[in-house]
Amino acid sequence: MVFRPDYNDTTIGSICNIMQLRLDFPTHKSAPLPRIYALFRLVAIITFSATCILAGLKTAFGLDFDQLQQALVSRFGQTQLPVFRDWQGLVAESKGRSEPDKIRLVNDFFNRRLGYADDLNIWGQTDYWATPIEFIGRGWGDCEDFSIGKYYSLINIGVPVSKLRLVYVKATQNTPSGPIQQAHMVLAYYATPNAEPQVLDNLNPEIRPASQRPDLAPIFSFNSAGLWQGTGNQSSKSNLSRWQDLLQRARAEGFQ
């Protein structure tokens, strides 16, 4: 599986920035404060810190979780709120983590917390690409939904778009009647422009280099910046209608 990302696209910038807050308290050599005043000051510090943490959870990396939660509950009710809040916590606490840690945490979350089912059973359609909120709201999704959910999560915790590609592949699976090939989607992560991509997959939960996934034959790849055919490095504007429709629906929910 040999896809090389184009890192020369100057339109790809930093996805999100977070303001760091630090409290500096002056020191005084005057008489010690009364205990009750010191206690009130301690309570104020704790309250302020808790407020900052909660604010960070609500708007981590530019996401408005209140808006996302409203979109979830208005369509799917409150059944999946625990999963949504765990996902919210994952996004918030991934701040400051290394990229390999972010990749691992996001891959594990989706593979463990959400189930696999085909679009016909979930949506009554043969092929439907769900937004992350729709995926969490249903609690079930197919390979595209797993890959898209991981993609959106990673770009919203600081992994550059240029390092991620959604990859359509032919996946070879062994069955009792022999090997079969089926259309499948995975997410590829490129640590550097020339690095071998790491494959995030719902069929195989272990993140592996592409060279260790001989069962996958890439057809084309894409992300928010472009579309790559075959194994070439030349990107073009993506005209995938389902992808453009999904981007529009995700923006309406509150994703950037």
**Residue closest to 138 by CA, chosen among 187, 191, 77, 87:** 77
Determine the pLDDT at residue 2: 53
Question: 44: how many CB neighbours lie within 10 A of its CB?
Answer: 10
Give the mean model confidence (pLDDT) for residues 164-190: 94
Of residues 226 and 83, more confidence is placed in 83
Provide the domain count of the chain.
1
Kindly state whether residue 142 falls inside one of the protein's structural domains.
Answer: yes
Question: In the chain, what is the straight-line distance between the N-terminal and C-terminal CA atoms, in Å?
Answer: 29
Say if CB 254 and CB 71 are below 8 A apart: yes
Spatial separation of the C-alpha atoms in residues 87 and 164, rounded to whole Å: 20
For the cut 80, the answer to whether the pLDDT of residue 92 exceeds it is: yes
Q: What distance in Å separates the CA atoms of residue 126 and residue 108, rounded to the nearest whole number?
A: 27
DSSP symbol at 256:
-
pLDDT for the residue 32: 45
**What does the pLDDT read at residue 174?**
87
Range of the domain at 172: 57-253
pLDDT tier at 12, thresholds 50, 70, 90: very low
Domain contains 5: no
Residue 62 has what DSSP assignment? G
Report the candidate in 93, 106, 103, 102 with the shortest Cα–Cα distance to residue 18.
93
Q: Is the predicted pLDDT of residue 81 greater than 90, yes or no? A: yes
CATH of the domain at 203: 3.10.620.30
Quick: pLDDT tens for 20-74. 222 222 333 334 435 543 443 443 343 334 333 444 444 445 789 999 999 999 9
Residue 68: what pLDDT?
Answer: 96
CA triple 129-61-207, angle to 5 deg = 55
pLDDT at 251: 94
Kindly state the average pLDDT of the residues 70-79.
Answer: 96
- Does a structural domain hold residue 156? yes
**Is residue 202 situated within a structural domain?**
yes
Flag whether 42 is in a domain: no
pTM attached to this predicted model = 0.76
- Biggest CA–CA distance in the chain, Å, is 85
* Residue 248 maps to a domain: yes
Q: What confidence category does residue 228 fall into, taking pLDDT thresholds of 50, 70 and 90? A: confident
pLDDT, residue 95, reads 79
Give me the pLDDT at residue 98, please: 97
